[in-house]
């Protein structure tokens, strides 16, 4: 997992980038949870998504938002972090000019930022949103949602109640041909403490159907 330093809006952004063997492979950007609550790019869910995309043969990158780890700057309530994500996407796209497609994946706060990024970047063809913070973040920007994706949520999540995510999906307006797949992981809590394998299995099942240009077999888990 080669370490890279990106010139971000507030200074350096610390990142990890793994290029695919195939220069035309799709790419994926992974966004971590709440920077103001200890979230970072080594969060176990974020890292699991990173490795999962890597195993599928994607070019993949994760990074620390401003003020986290060795990344410069201070937490900016989402606005600055969205700029960080856009800069990171610019960087990985510059490394992978022949990539067939572009995906974004995030956990909690990272899911919120990723879905905002999707609205601004038409090259993003799909998203993976794990536990989007539907109870306390504004998702009205999804009108309509331009790309299909999957929302994965723990059925026993006490931080973000499952019903708030169901209501979010019901409210999301989509364009013709765009679908949002909502999947609940039974008995899983907000952090998927004992259900990370089940979470990755659901993510893998979705990508197997939605990302046909990712054709490298998964390594055994």
* Residue 92 and residue 2 in contact, taking contact as beta carbons nearer than 8 Å: no
Query: According to the model, what pLDDT value does residue 190 have?
Result: 95
Question: Model's pTM, two decimal places?
Answer: 0.94
* Residue 187 and residue 195 in contact, taking contact as beta carbons nearer than 8 Å: yes
Digits of tens for pLDDT over the chain (221 positions)? 589 999 999 999 999 999 999 999 999 999 999 999 999 999 999 999 999 999 999 999 999 999 999 999 999 999 999 999 999 999 999 999 999 999 999 999 999 999 999 999 999 999 999 999 999 999 988 878 889 999 999 999 999 999 999 998 887 767 777 889 999 999 999 999 999 999 999 999 999 999 866 644 433 33
CA distance 4 to 201: 29
CA distance 1 to 129: 23
Homologous superfamily in CATH for domain 3-210: Alpha/Beta hydrolase fold, catalytic domain (3.40.50.1820)
Which strands sit side by side in the sheet containing 3-8, from one edge to the other? 3-8, 11-18, 59-63, 27-31, 102-107, 124-130, 148-154, 180-185
* Residue 185 and residue 199 in contact, taking contact as beta carbons nearer than 8 Å: yes
Angle 44-55/196-210 helices, nearest 10 degrees?
A: 40
């Amino acid at each position: 997992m080669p370490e890279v330093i990106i010139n971000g809006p507030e200074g350096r952004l610390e990142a990890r980038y793994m290029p695919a063997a195939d220069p035309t492979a799709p790419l994926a950007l992974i966004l971590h949870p709440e920077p103001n609550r200890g979230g970072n790019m080594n969060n176990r869910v974020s890292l699991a998504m990173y490795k999962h995309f890597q195993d599928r043969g994607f070019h993949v990158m994760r990074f620390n938002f401003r003020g986290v780890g060795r990344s410069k700057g201070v937490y900016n309530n989402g606005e600055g972090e969205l700029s960080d994500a856009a800069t990171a996407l610019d960087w990985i796209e510059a490394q992978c000019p022949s990539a067939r497609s572009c995906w974004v994946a995030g956990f909690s706060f990272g899911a919120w930022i990723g879905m905002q990024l999707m609205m601004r970047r038409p090259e993003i063809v799909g998203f993976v949103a794990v536990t989007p913070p539907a109870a306390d973040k504004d998702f009205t920007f999804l009108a309509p949602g331009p790309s299909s994706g999957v929302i994965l949520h723990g059925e026993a999540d006490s931080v973000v109640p499952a019903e708030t995510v169901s209501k979010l999906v019901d409210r999301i307006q989509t364009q013709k041909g765009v679908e949002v797949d909502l999947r609940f992981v039974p008995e899983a809590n907000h952090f998927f403490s004992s259900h990370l394998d089940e979470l990755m299995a659901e993510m893998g099942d979705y990508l197997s159907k939605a990302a046909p240009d990712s054709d490298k077999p998964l390594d055994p888990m």
